[in-house]
């Protein structure tokens, strides 16, 4: 089977990128997918959400961006989540690259590809060089967004930049999956923004979103995914549905995913709520 690499990216901050990385990794890990999270955001919040931080003097997610011919072979750490490993961020990374190879992240992942079914790269906003390196390693891009005018503009800006970058580098275009976050469709603004996203990108690029739920921030404060903090929370169900969509859209496979118990799907494997 072929490992899939997905960047979770948006040029706008505060859209739920890190929350998505942490909760999707936990959701897919419990189903048997072997997931690696690469935390390219120097804030290191994905590591915090999974209870992992870079070891002093050890390789981390930013090492290949600083030095050529380095990889993630010794950088991945186990987490407390089933089947989920993490390459934590260098929280002292200042954005200055010491390696000009835009394929450095792809090369760094090479020693770990055989051991994983899915790699999720948490990409920081407003970091063009890091975004390009992540895209060059990826098979697809998940774009979390809030349903408001600024969120819509952020998605459109990212899409323009993404297409311009892929054209300039003569790289094959990747599939986009736009995922609404903190959804509350009781408001006119959110319903209108969702309609504008559907019109601009088509329903085929929209995936299920995650409703507003205080359990998400509570879980993050405890450095746990929401499915373990409050498994009955609506956000836990929504992340399950989002995971379903991404598995289908990007063809993410693993042998364990098809070994379901006789009584049906594993616990927590649900259909969620559709915003498409």
- The end-to-end CA distance of the chain, in Å, is 29
Task: Give me the DSSP letters along 144-212.
Answer: EEESSHHHHHHHHHHHHHHHHHHHHTTPPPPEEEEEEESB-TTSHHHHHHHHHHHHHH-GGGB----B-
55 versus 155: which is more confidently predicted?
Answer: 155
What is the per-residue pLDDT for 263? 37
Using DSSP's 3-state secondary structure scheme, residue 8 falls into strand
User: What is the model's pTM?
Assistant: 0.90
The answer to whether residue 273 scores a pLDDT higher than 60 is: no
What is the per-residue pLDDT for 255? 54
The answer to whether residue 39 scores a pLDDT higher than 60 is: yes
Confidence of residue 10 (pLDDT cuts 50, 70, 90): very high
| Percent of the chain clearing pLDDT 70 (strictly above) | 92
The encoded tokens of residue 164 equal 């311009």
* Contact (CB, 8 A) for 59 and 50: no
- Degrees, nearest 5: CA angle 203-209-215: 175
Rg (CA), the chain: 18
Three-state helix/strand/coil letters over 90-158: CCCCCCCCCCCCCCHHHHHHHHHHHHCCEEEEECCCCCHHHHHHHHHCCCEEEEEEECCHHHHHHHHHH
Q: Which residues contact 221 (CB under 8 A, 6 or more apart)?
A: none
The encoded tokens of residue 208 equal 């299920």
Is residue 78 packed enough to be buried (19+ CB in 10 Å), middle (13-18) or exposed (0-12)? exposed
What is the per-residue pLDDT for 109? 96
Q: How far apart are CA 205 and CA 34, in angstroms?
A: 25
What is the per-residue pLDDT for 171? 87
Residue 83 gets which letter from DSSP? T
The answer to whether residue 260 scores a pLDDT higher than 70 is: no
Name the residue among 35, 31, 43, 67 with its Cα closest to residue 244.
31
pLDDT digits (tens, 9 = 90+) for 101-138: 999 999 999 999 999 999 999 999 978 899 999 999 99
Per the DSSP assignment, residues forming a β-bridge with 78 are: 85
Parallel, antiparallel, or unpaired: how do β-strands 77-78 and 4-8 relate? unpaired
Parallel, antiparallel, or unpaired: how do β-strands 118-122 and 4-8 relate? parallel
The answer to whether residue 262 scores a pLDDT higher than 70 is: no
What is the per-residue pLDDT for 57? 76
The encoded tokens of residue 52 equal 């992992």
pLDDT digits (tens, 9 = 90+) for 71-111: 998 899 999 999 999 999 999 898 889 888 999 999 999 99
């Amino acid at each position: 089977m072929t490992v899939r690499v997905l960047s979770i990216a948006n040029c706008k901050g505060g859209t739920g990128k890190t929350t998505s990385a942490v909760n999707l990794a936990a959701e897919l890990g419990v189903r048997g997918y072997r997931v690696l999270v690469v935390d390219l955001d120097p804030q290191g919040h994905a590591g915090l959400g999974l209870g992992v931080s870079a070891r002093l003097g050890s390789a981390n997610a930013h090492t290949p961006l600083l030095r050529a011919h380095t990889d993630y072979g010794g950088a991945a750490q186990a987490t407390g989540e089933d089947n989920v490993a993490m390459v934590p961020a260098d929280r002292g990374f200042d954005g200055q690259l010491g390696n000009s190879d835009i394929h450095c992240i792809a090369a760094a992942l090479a020693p770990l590809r055989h051991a994983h079914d899915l790699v999720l790269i948490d990409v920081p906003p407003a970091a063009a060089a890091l975004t390009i390196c992540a895209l060059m390693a990826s098979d697809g891009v998940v774009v979390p967004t809030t349903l408001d005018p600024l969120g819509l503009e952020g998605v459109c800006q990212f899409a323009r930049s993404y297409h311009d970058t892929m054209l300039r580098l003569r790289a094959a275009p990747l599939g986009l999956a736009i995922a609404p976050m903190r959804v509350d469709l009781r408001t006119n603004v959110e319903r209108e923004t969702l309609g504008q996203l559907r019109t601009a990108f088509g329903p085929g690029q929209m995936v299920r979103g995650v409703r507003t739920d205080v359990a998400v921030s509570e879980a993050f404060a405890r450095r746990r995914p929401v499915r373990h903090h409050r498994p009955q929370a609506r956000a836990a169900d929504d992340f399950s549905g989002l995971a379903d969509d991404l598995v289908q859209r990007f063809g993410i496979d693993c042998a364990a995913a098809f070994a379901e118990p006789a009584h049906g799907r594993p616990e927590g494997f649900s259909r969620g709520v559709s915003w498409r």
